[in-house]
Amino acid sequence: MTKWILVPLCVTFGLGCASERKSPDLPFQLPQEFPYVQRISLPRREAQEEVLSRWWESFGDPQLVRLIEEALKANPSVKEALARIEEAKALKVQGAAEILPQVGIGASVQRREGNQAKGATAYSSSVESSLQLDLFGKAKKGLEALQEGILKEEENLNYVLSELASEVAITYVELCASQKKLLLLKERLQRCETQYRDLVFSRYRAGLTDHSDLEQAQREMALLRYEILQKEREIETRRASLCALLGRPPGSLEALEIPDEVPLPPLEVVMASPAEVIERRPDIRMAKREVLARVAYLEEAKRNRFPILKLLGSLALEALTLGDLIHYPSVTLRIGPSLDLDLFTGWGKAGQIRQQEAKLKQALAQYERAVLEALGEVQQILCSIQTHWGMIQETEKALEAAREILKLEEARYLSGLSDYEGVIQQRKSLYETQISLADLKAQLALDFVDLYKALGGGCQEEDRDGRKEVP
């Protein structure tokens, strides 16, 4: 039995040059450091990769670490980002098909009839192959653009992870701050109830005060109970938000033990130069990948004006019977080049080039805006840290003064020199100062979260080469 086998040997030539993977030029000069750095009174240290990549561990709260790591694995946004990477890789596989051999097979049976000749049946089978030679680098540039699309989606995953870690930390810090305020409210209510029972009511029974002091004390306790209910509702709302970030249904964190103090990292400002910030931040790296992709698409559009050269080959077997088709077929072998060139397309290809040039300008503008916003964000966070740290120091002094004033006012009430309204006002002032201090500490913790994120924290070093795996 005679067997005919056609095995195309394919070699593809690419003459285009790969675009350099450097950052796009900026129309302004980057400063060596952030201007506000010298005004920071807190200790400073250089940003280290091991600190930034898992910055949440610096807060010294194992529960926060566990919650963030769970969110990085289970949040739907992470799953969506991973699926987008798979889609981008599939698009590259489709694009690579243009420079790979195309092989097809076919078979047919035909009945031929004529006016004078007797009808006959013809059997045929064929194998056809083609290979597009990328002589001018068009396909190569298209693959470069698709590869940049993959890297952009991987940077998007890094961005999602960074945002998610900061959102979990922010929600957790706010939850701890609400818990601290709830405890302060309960302590204040307990103290009011004790004073009402042991002091106000006893003085009223002894005839040392009138009924107005009782009404004032009862009104104060009623308002405190109302505030406690509001704060408990606020805690449940934040707990539900935390469930959503962890990819859990509402109510699944009822057993979560909330600390009564806001976790704080070491009071050291982690700093990096503007150039390092640009290198680390995933949103800026996404914008950079978009610019490189647009450069590749522009080069692809320019090369689309050149002719398309293909190598074509086909093998056809024909016979009048099926047996002859297997053993004694009529063989036709064709092989040769094919050249296609569009002579006039109504300036359509020139329009495609102008379109890609416009998209490249948009990508460059978006990159420039991302850099400016990132640098401004770091500057604002540094200012906020310094401001809140100074306010904490002053509020701690005011808190000590409020405690002393309350003691004096209680002594004046016991000696009959003032009414109970003065005690209520001073106790309210003390409570408001305690709340202000708790808020400022929470805000300082949030400032550190924002700083770590603004410096590009939350991404592993190997993530930036497009080999990201969710921790």
The 10s digit of each residue's pLDDT in 131-169 is 888 778 888 888 889 999 999 999 999 999 999 999 999
Mean per-residue pLDDT for 62-81?
94
User: What is residue 213's predicted lDDT score, i.e. its pLDDT?
Assistant: 64
DSSP 346-391: TTHHHHHHHHHHHHHHHHHHHHHHHHHHHHHHHHHHHHHHHHHHHH
User: What is residue 471's predicted lDDT score, i.e. its pLDDT?
Assistant: 39
User: What is residue 132's predicted lDDT score, i.e. its pLDDT?
Assistant: 80
- The closest alpha carbon to 261, from 155, 197, 178, belongs to 178
DSSP 35-54: GGGGG--S-EEE--HHHHHT
Top pLDDT among 324 and 71 is at: 71
Cβ atoms within 10 Å, residue 332:
12
The model carries a pTM of: 0.80
User: What is residue 204's predicted lDDT score, i.e. its pLDDT?
Assistant: 53
Top pLDDT among 358 and 308 is at: 358
Q: Kindly compute the dihedral angle of the four CA atoms of residues 260, 262, 266, 271, in this order, to the nearest 10 degrees.
A: 170
110 in Cβ contact with 122 (< 8 Å): yes
- Highest mean pLDDT among 158-167, 189-198, 270-279, 414-423 belongs to 158-167
Q: Which residues contact 244 (CB under 8 A, 6 or more apart)?
A: 250
pLDDT higher than 70, residue 465: no
User: What is residue 123's predicted lDDT score, i.e. its pLDDT?
Assistant: 79
Top pLDDT among 346 and 170 is at: 170
Measured in residues, the chain has a length of 471
Give the residue carrying structure tokens 């109302």: 226
Cα gap 346→353, rounded to integer Å: 13
- Give the CA diameter of the chain: 137
At 20, the pLDDT band (50, 70, 90 cuts) reads very low
Q: Which residues contact 453 (CB under 8 A, 6 or more apart)?
A: 162, 163, 165, 166
Residue 54 token pair? 């898992």
- By DSSP bridging, strand 44-46 and strand 102-112 are unpaired
Q: Which residues contact 232 (CB under 8 A, 6 or more apart)?
A: 182
- CA 451 from centre of chain: 15
- Among 120-129, 389-398, 430-439, the minimum mean pLDDT is found in 120-129
Top pLDDT among 194 and 157 is at: 157
Mean per-residue pLDDT for 12-37?
62
3-state secondary structure of 398: helix
Cα gap 444→449, rounded to integer Å: 9
pLDDT higher than 70, residue 464: no
User: What is residue 88's predicted lDDT score, i.e. its pLDDT?
Assistant: 93
Top pLDDT among 239 and 15 is at: 239
Q: Convert the pLDDT of each residue in 246-286 to its tens digit.
A: 999 988 888 888 888 899 988 888 888 888 888 889 999 99
Cβ atoms within 10 Å, residue 384:
16
Q: Convert the pLDDT of each residue in 283-319 to its tens digit.
A: 999 999 999 999 999 998 888 888 888 888 888 888 8
Mean per-residue pLDDT for 11-21?
34
User: What is residue 23's predicted lDDT score, i.e. its pLDDT?
Assistant: 73
User: What is residue 306's predicted lDDT score, i.e. its pLDDT?
Assistant: 83
Q: With helix as H, strand as E and coil as C, how does 259-313 read?
A: CCCCCCCCCCEEECCHHHHHHHCHHHHHHHHHHHHHHHHHHHHHHCCCCEEEEEE
- The closest alpha carbon to 201, from 190, 223, 217, 224, belongs to 217
Q: Which residues of 90-100 are buried (b: 16+ CB within 10 A; e: fewer)?
A: eebeebeeebe
pLDDT higher than 60, residue 76: yes
User: Average per-residue pLDDT in the chain?
Assistant: 82
- Among 346-350, 430-434, 441-445, the minimum mean pLDDT is found in 346-350
3-state secondary structure of 85: helix
- Highest mean pLDDT among 255-264, 361-370, 455-464 belongs to 361-370
- Highest mean pLDDT among 70-84, 89-103, 317-331, 448-462 belongs to 70-84
